[in-house]
Amino acid sequence: MNDNKHNHNHSGKTLSRRSFLKALGLGTAAAAAPAIVSCATGDEKKGTTQEPPVGKMTYRENPKTHEKVSILGYGMMRLPATNGEPFGRDNDAEIDQEMVNKQIDYAIEHGVNYFDTSPAYSRGLSERATGIALSRHKRDEYFIATKLSNFAPETQTREASIEMFQNSLKELQVDYIDYLLLHSIGGGTGEEAMELFRQRYIYNGILDYLLEQREKGVIRNLGFSYHGEIAVFDYLLANHDKYHWDFVQIELNYLDWRHAKDFSEENTNAEYLYAELDKRAIPAVIMEPLLGGRLASLPTPLARKLLARDPERSPASWAFRYAGSFPRVLTVLSGMTYMEHLKENLCTYSPLEELTDEEKNFLYGIADEIVSYNTIPCNDCKYCMPCPYGIDIPGVLTHYNKCIAEGNLTRDRKDPDYARARKAFLVGYDRSVPRLRQADHCIGCGKCVEHCPQRIDIPKEMQRVNNYVEALKQGIDRGLEA
Amino acid sequence: MMVMVTLLFLDVSGVLHHYLAWTARIQFLPALLALNVVVIVALILLTLIFGRIYCSVICPLGIFQDIVSWIHGKRKKNRFTASPEKRWLRYGVLVLFVAAFIAGIHSLVALLAPYSSYGRMVTNLLLPVYQWGNNLLASIAERVDSYAFYGVDVWIKSLPTFLIALATFIIIVVLAWRGGRTYCNTICPVGTILAQLARFSWFKVYFDADKCKSCSLCTKNCKASCIDFKTHQVDYTRCVTCGNCLEKCNFGALHYGHPKAAIHPVKPNDERPVADNTRRAFLVGTAIVGADVALAQAAKKVDGGLAVIEDKKPYQRSTPLTPPGSVSARNFAQHCTACQLCVAKCPNGVLRPSTDPMRLMQPELSFERGACRPECVECSTVCPTGAIKPITVADKSSTMIGHAVWVKDNCVILSDGVNCGNCARHCPAGAIMMVPSNPQDDTSPMVPAVNSAMCIGCGTCEYVCPARPFSAIYVEGHEVHSQI
């Protein structure tokens, strides 16, 4: 798959994206090349370039405000940095504001009007960058979604949380927020999760404060984003009559539809989440439609199946069409770091061709196979970072996943491909993650675990990766098994 | 030969040394130290038959000087003059060398050994350039999704050694630029030893007095300054049988072969001292220590970013660690000529030259950048002197070069109140176990304890320990290596 993909693109931009792929193990490029080709506006025979069309974007109506929201929402979590990589990989690189501006301009020109950020994203700098870019446009051209991200205990006092909200208005250079979310409710396990929720929003009266702000029109739509403990999700929906949620943000994709539980018992399948929202006619905002790129860079045999079905549609475009094919979906968020990502997604959604039931079933078949590959469900959201002991957690996990996808994970020393796969894994490991930030330096303190929205047992996975690395380095069998 | 020796030092692929390690083993001093009888006898015979051809063909430092001298020769032709032998200096240095060797002043031995000087110059001055070039290729390879090149860390492993290498380089270049083989004939102890054999060599350069027109071209092109065209005499202790004089002579007056008439070497009496500046470098003696950056454990309010990792500082081990295969500190010190070949080959950043004056430039182990990995025996496969004897992976896993010591005050389990046990988890010998910090309370935090009977001193624990700048567990060396 990768050999093919890299033969397609040789422009400067592709290079920088390639280094991004190298670093993160995201494989959207695999998807990008064919998808851009499939974009219908240009005429290959005449030699015109392939550009997404203007004015063809699919919109969904917000039942409360009747405003039209573009089915493609711009996620501002994975911003580009000045070194050509996604921001946050390298402490010295800054957000490439010029590029952010350019991409937002392009998105708005092509009909995108929903922009999703948070005070926590991009080391706390995402709102400012988003504000700078959007303030150059008319306020009625875009909807802003941001969150009350009071995860740290010191931000959970009433004063600190209100200050966080007020600061969002300031950073975004607006006097009202279109969509405000209680950020990632459901952290913690069991009873602890409900208690954590109460600490963040109930005891300090912040939920009441936000409801007041909605009354005043400072918040136009109030909702929450959910990961983790289902009891909190159920509690909030059970109280829908009291709170009148205007929208809810959930993780939905063809893998999580029925397999979220396969990765962690504490996860909830998207099928349930969507059904709960549908029952109450609450619009759904979709996050992780690509699972941080994992559904774009599929293991080669699976990518082949998708491409064999339609050579002009990338694996990523299948995932986006899937997420958009549910009627209650208001918008599908995508963290588009590079212009190529943006263009490809614009092509997919201008307009959206919804999947048939048969096509959905085809994807569920793919999902069943993905599960057997034993990837680590890391979406590179970086919520776990920074690790106090300096480990590059997403760097390690995405490298491991990337090697699975590229067939560079060998389980048997007698495998004729062992030597090549071993070299690819080890050399690639040192390239993606500096030695002092690799899995062997994870001390297992477990501070990251509570931050992971995917409920990955990070210390355990670090040991699994390290055992594998040791097996390769020493040339022994122990540790090669999954 | 010089190219091969240089490649042996430079290679970052970890493959070439299988084919090139012999080029280091046939060097005179390493062979002598390794008691490599075959090589020693061969070299003695070679010199007895052909003269000091060793200095022109085998010694990389000699060839290096020829190149410098050749470059100057391109610009300025016929620049040499015959000069008398500097006897007191050559023999003085030889006496000093032998005395240092017997007295165990290994740093002085290492300083004077020609192959080692060359090795230091290559590892300290050329290797970094080569590695940067390699890293450039690696970054290109990375962009085109190739794993053909692999990036390596480039760092100054010891400042004194680096400065000595630099000083050696400057002195050698200046001497070679001005006077060709001045170094070989005034300082090099190997040159002086071989000179004694070359006196009696079967083949030598000699004049056919009948044909000689005393044009002086031979003298002016002799980089060893050992030909006197007026007296038709050649100083065989200094002649390195390069053949330049034969080539230059337009009248066929010079021959290389067995002279029919015995010719006696010149007895010079004019002496001119040459300063030995390298000693100055001894005075510079502080290790480079990485910048002290505090661990920025920023409160976790926002997502992303990487905590700054403070550089680790090496422990001052009361007994330095020598590589597995070196048998004992004494064997190692006696045999090592500090050529830095093992330092250049160590893929884990473990070996670096010592800064201790008595062992200056001889390698020792430290674990800030990596551990002495169980599957690696690179240093033992390249060492030409027998300082590190060949060892198998299996032998290495049971060779105790040191033992780990837990430093309670540094341990994050107690200072940060976190679970750790990373040392125990990674110990390849299974020598570290986690025990309650309070023996009376099984629920107290678990801390590491070292079962030193099992510990081989590989340093994995020290490397993966999160405590900084000093690890909470470190390895103390053993004077004599033993088997578990």
pLDDT band at B279 (very low <50, low <70, confident <90, very high): very low
**pLDDT score of A55 more than 80:** yes
CB-CB neighbours of A302 under 10 Å: 19
**pLDDT score of B312 more than 70:** yes
SS3 of chain A: the string is: CHHHHHHHCCCHHHHHHHHHHHHHCCCHHHHHHHHHHHCCCCCHHHCCCCCCCCCCCCEEECCCCCCEEECEEEECCCCEECCCCECCCCCCCCECHHHHHHHHHHHHHCCCCEEECCCCHHHHCHHHHHHHHHCCCCHHHCEEEEEECCCCHHHCCHHHHHHHHHHHHHHHCCCCEEEEEEEEECCCCCHHHHHHHHHHHHCCCHHHHHHHHHHHCCEEEEEEEECCCHHHHHHHHHCHHHHCCCEEEEECCCCHHHHHHHHCCCCCCHHHHHHHHHHCCCCEEEECCCCCCCCCCCCHHHHHHHHHHCCCCCHHHHHHHHHHCCCCEEEEEECCCCHHHHHHHHHHHCCCCCCCHHHHHHHHHHHHHHHCCCCCCCCCCCCCCCCCCCCCHHHHHHHHHHHHHCCCCCCCCCCCCHHHHHHHHHHHHHHHCCHHHCHHHCCCCCCCHHHCCCCCCHHHHHHHHHHHHHHHHHCCCCCCCC
pLDDT tens-digit series, residues A263-283: 777 789 999 999 999 999 999
Nearest to A473 among B142, B150, B373 (CB): B373
Number of inter-chain CB pairs under 8 A, A vs B: 122
What values do phi and psi take at A332, rounded to 5? Answer: -115, 120
CB-based contact (8 Å) between A407 and chain B?
no
pLDDT tens-digit series, residues A397-420: 999 998 988 888 888 888 888 988
CATH number for the region A2-371 comes to 3.20.20.100
Q: For residue B396, what pLDDT is reported?
A: 93
More confident residue, A2 or A76: A76
Largest pairwise CA distance in chain A: 69
Q: What are the Cα distances from residue A402, in Å, to A2, A126, A314, A428?
A: 11, 27, 17, 10
Dihedral sign of CA atoms A16, A20, A25, A31 in order: negative
Which pairing describes strands A329-334 and A72-75: parallel, antiparallel, or unpaired? parallel
Nearest to A385 among B295, B303, B412 (CB): B303
Whether A13 and A338 have beta carbons less than 8 Å apart is answered as yes
pLDDT tens-digit series, residues B320-336: 999 999 999 989 998 99
What are the residue boundaries of the structural domains of chain B, listed by start?
2-257, 293-483
CB-CB neighbours of A450 under 10 Å: 17
A-chain residues near B145 (CB < 8 A): 2-3, 6, 18, 22
- Taking the C-alpha atoms of residue A431 and residue A423, their distance in angstroms, rounded to an integer, is 12
B-chain residues near A424 (CB < 8 A): 147
Q: For residue B267, what pLDDT is reported?
A: 41
**What would the mean pLDDT of A104-121 be, rounded to a whole number?**
96
Could B421 and A444 be called an inter-chain contact, meaning their C-beta atoms sit closer than 8 Å? yes
**What would the mean pLDDT of A18-34 be, rounded to a whole number?**
39
Nearest to A390 among B307, B374, B464 (CB): B307
Tokens, residue A439 = 């899995």
Between A1-15, A168-182, A404-418, B342-356, the lowest mean confidence (pLDDT) is in A1-15
Whether B9 and B344 have beta carbons less than 8 Å apart is answered as yes
CB-CB neighbours of A14 under 10 Å: 19
Q: Which residue has the tokens 């997604």?
A: A345
**What would the mean pLDDT of B136-155 be, rounded to a whole number?**
84
% of chain A with per-residue pLDDT over 90: 64
Mean pLDDT of chain A: 87
**pLDDT score of A352 more than 80:** yes
Which pairing describes strands A143-148 and A177-185: parallel, antiparallel, or unpaired? parallel
CATH number for the region B293-483 comes to 3.30.70.20
pLDDT tens-digit series, residues A420-439: 889 889 988 998 899 999 99
Residue of B nearest to A79 (CA): B304
**pLDDT score of A92 more than 70:** yes
More confident residue, B316 or A143: A143
Could A441 and B464 be called an inter-chain contact, meaning their C-beta atoms sit closer than 8 Å? yes
Whether B307 and A387 have beta carbons less than 8 Å apart is answered as yes
- Taking the C-alpha atoms of residue B235 and residue B248, their distance in angstroms, rounded to an integer, is 18
**pLDDT score of B200 more than 50:** yes
Q: Of A210, A87, A73, nearest to A144 (Cα)?
A: A73
Could B305 and A385 be called an inter-chain contact, meaning their C-beta atoms sit closer than 8 Å? yes
The H or E element containing residue B273 is none
Q: Of B112, B28, B29, B22, nearest to B335 (Cα)?
A: B29
What are the residue boundaries of the structural domains of chain A, listed by start?
2-371, 393-474
pLDDT band at A57 (very low <50, low <70, confident <90, very high): very high
**Degrees, nearest 5: CA angle A109-A114-A118:** 125
Q: What are the Cα distances from residue B115, in Å, to A305, B20, B272, B361?
A: 61, 15, 26, 14
**What would the mean pLDDT of B164-168 be, rounded to a whole number?**
93
ipTM greater than 0.85: no
Checking phi first, is residue A436 left (phi over 0); if not, alpha (psi -120 to 50) or beta?
alpha
**What would the mean pLDDT of A329-343 be, rounded to a whole number?**
94
CB-based contact (8 Å) between A17 and chain B?
no
Could A91 and B308 be called an inter-chain contact, meaning their C-beta atoms sit closer than 8 Å? yes
CB-based contact (8 Å) between A62 and chain B?
no
Q: For residue B299, what pLDDT is reported?
A: 53
pLDDT band at A476 (very low <50, low <70, confident <90, very high): confident
pLDDT tens-digit series, residues A286-304: 999 999 888 998 888 899 9
- Taking the C-alpha atoms of residue B445 and residue B438, their distance in angstroms, rounded to an integer, is 8
Q: For residue B297, what pLDDT is reported?
A: 39
**pLDDT score of A13 more than 60:** no
**pLDDT score of B291 more than 50:** no
CB-CB neighbours of B242 under 10 Å: 22
pLDDT band at A46 (very low <50, low <70, confident <90, very high): low
Q: For residue A47, what pLDDT is reported?
A: 60
Q: For residue A373, what pLDDT is reported?
A: 86
pLDDT tens-digit series, residues B233-278: 899 999 999 888 888 888 888 888 887 654 444 444 443 333 333 3
**pLDDT score of A27 more than 70:** no
Q: For residue A43, what pLDDT is reported?
A: 52
A320: closest CA of chain B, how far (Å) = 25
CB-based contact (8 Å) between A428 and chain B?
yes
Exposed (0-12), middle (13-18) or buried (19+): which is B94, by Cβ within 10 Å? buried
pLDDT tens-digit series, residues B357-402: 888 899 999 999 999 999 999 999 999 999 999 999 999 999 999 9
B406: closest CA of chain A, how far (Å) = 16
Three-state DSSP class for B400? strand
- Taking the C-alpha atoms of residue A258 and residue A291, their distance in angstroms, rounded to an integer, is 14
Q: What are the Cα distances from residue B4, in Å, to A287, B324, B385?
A: 59, 27, 18
A337: closest CA of chain B, how far (Å) = 15
The H or E element containing residue B40 is helix B37-50
% of chain A with per-residue pLDDT over 70: 89
